[in-house]
Amino acid sequence: MLPAPNLSAHGLSNLSGADLQRAQELAHRSVKVGIISVLGVMITLGNVAVLLVISSSVAGWSRNSRYFLLSLTAADSAFGLLVMPLNLWVSLLKDYTEGPDALCHVVAFCNATVYSTCMYTLATISLERYVAVFYPLQYSLLLTRRRTLLLIAFAWCFPPVVLSPISFPRGIIEVHFSTASLVCNPSYSTNAGYSLGLTCVIFFPCSLVMTYANLRIWCAARRQRLKMRKYCFARRSRHNVAARVLVPVMAAYYACWTPCMAAMIYNALSASSVPEWLEFAAVWLPTANGFLNCIFYFWMNRSFRRKFRLVLQRLALAACPELAGAVECCRAPAAPAAPAVPDNNNSSVYERSASVSSTCTLLSTA
């Protein structure tokens, strides 16, 4: 990296136009690196906390729900653990005058794959919630463990196959290092057809699935609340959980992903790039969705918060063993547990009820 020139008033007067532009680029790059680093730390810490909780069972969450949420957490964690470090590394090592290279192609492939996997994972979660709400009795038949794992495998394996041409340095897709967004991006202007095709294959199908599923669930929740009001249960009914969860989820999704897709389509059709800071915001906004997912899908869930406090207590006791004795002394004697009665016919019923409990809470039933 070249040292930053003197930016004092006397120094600016002695700089030529090219040197002044170079100094401004270096100053802007420092600010952008700081924003990306802070966002990466927030995403990593948030998803690590989520992994600590959902790696074990959570009350009211079915096995399939945990699988889908673990997949989402892994995809969001890839933003902070893979995408951001790779792009920061390239932006710090690569000079602006250098052209595309094999490393830039690999980084661009990783970026596109993680972005696409996150969108497909969000779509599969919406599909699972839709089945749990509208087909609760057939849930265990429609979404078996095998089908759940196949959906998750599709969300992780299909994007790398579709995006594989980006990884070849001398292939059909040109890749360049963007000084505005500090990422290695495919050249959408020279590959307009491929760029538009990727948008139609990835963004629009996932958006349609999410919008349709969440809109149907929201309408069902609204009808349920109207029925409860009709039968004089309004005072005892819960808050409008559907509007409090589904609306922020969809608003955050479109607010984070639409600018990126719009900028990509604009570059492909007009063969020109958007302004510098607008491109930076559009490219990095989808990573912010990885942090917002932690809030909307997990922290707004009471069972998750309760389990998170329990995990923190266990970690504190493991770190300070001398506190274990004091905690045991303060605990009240536990009531004798009821004898377990084996029932081989209740496994599928419990699976359905757990799935409905983790998703049908949006219906605000008593």
Centroid of chain to Cα 257: 11
Q: How confident is the model at residue 190, as a pLDDT?
A: 67
Does residue 11 sit within a domain?
Answer: no
pLDDT of amino acid 352: 47
Beta strands in the chain (DSSP E): 175-178, 183-186
In terms of residue numbers, what domain contains 91? 24-321
CATH code of the domain in which 137 resides: 1.20.1070.10
In a domain, 280, yes or no: yes
In a domain, 337, yes or no: no
Predicted structure pTM score: 0.77
At residue 364, the pLDDT reads 37
Cα(142)–Cα(25) distance, rounded to whole angstroms? 54
CA dist 265 to 124, 194, 260, 273, Å? 25, 11, 9, 10
Q: Is 15 domain-assigned?
A: no
> What is the pLDDT at residue 71?
92
- The string over 209-246, giving b where at least 16 C-beta atoms fall within 10 Å of a residue's C-beta and e elsewhere, is bbeebbeebbebbeebbeebeeeeeeeeeeebbbeebb
Of 121, 47, 120, the residue nearest 82 (C-alpha) = 47
Share of the chain above pLDDT 90, in %: 22
Lookup: tokens for 56: 């074990």
Q: How far is the C-alpha of 16 from the C-alpha of 42, rounded, in Å?
A: 40
HSE on the CB side for 141, CA within 13 Å?
4
Q: Does some domain include residue 359? A: no
Predicted confidence at residue 241, as pLDDT, reads: 59
pLDDT (0 to 100) of residue 340: 45
Q: How many CB atoms lie under 10 A from the CB of residue 34?
A: 10
pLDDT tens, N- to C-terminus, the chain (366 residues):
444 445 444 444 555 666 777 777 778 888 888 999 999 999 998 888 888 888 777 766 778 888 998 999 999 999 989 999 998 888 877 655 555 578 888 898 999 999 999 999 999 999 998 998 899 888 888 989 999 999 999 999 999 998 888 888 877 788 888 888 888 888 776 666 776 777 788 889 999 999 999 999 888 888 887 777 776 554 554 555 566 678 888 888 999 999 988 888 888 788 777 888 898 999 999 998 888 888 877 777 777 778 888 877 887 777 776 655 554 555 545 445 445 444 444 444 444 445 544 444 444 333
CA proximity to 55, closest of 78, 76, 82, 74: 74
Residue 327 is assigned to a structural domain of this protein: no
Amino acid 137 reads: L
Residue 185, phi then psi, degrees to nearest 5: -120, 150
185 within domain boundaries: yes
In eight-state DSSP terms, residue 186 is E
Asked if 360 and 133 count as a contact pair (C-beta separation under 8 A), the reply is yes
Report yes or no: 174 and 159 within 8 Å, Cβ to Cβ: no
* 330 found inside a domain: no
| pLDDT the model gives residue 242 | 60
Residue 353: which of 88, 64, 87 has the closest Cα? 64
Number of domains in the chain: 1
pLDDT tens-digit map of 253-276? 999 999 988 888 888 788 777 888
Tens of pLDDT, residue by residue over 162-219, are 888 888 887 778 888 888 888 888 877 666 677 677 778 888 999 999 999 999 988 8
| CA distance linking residue 127 with residue 211, whole number of Å | 10
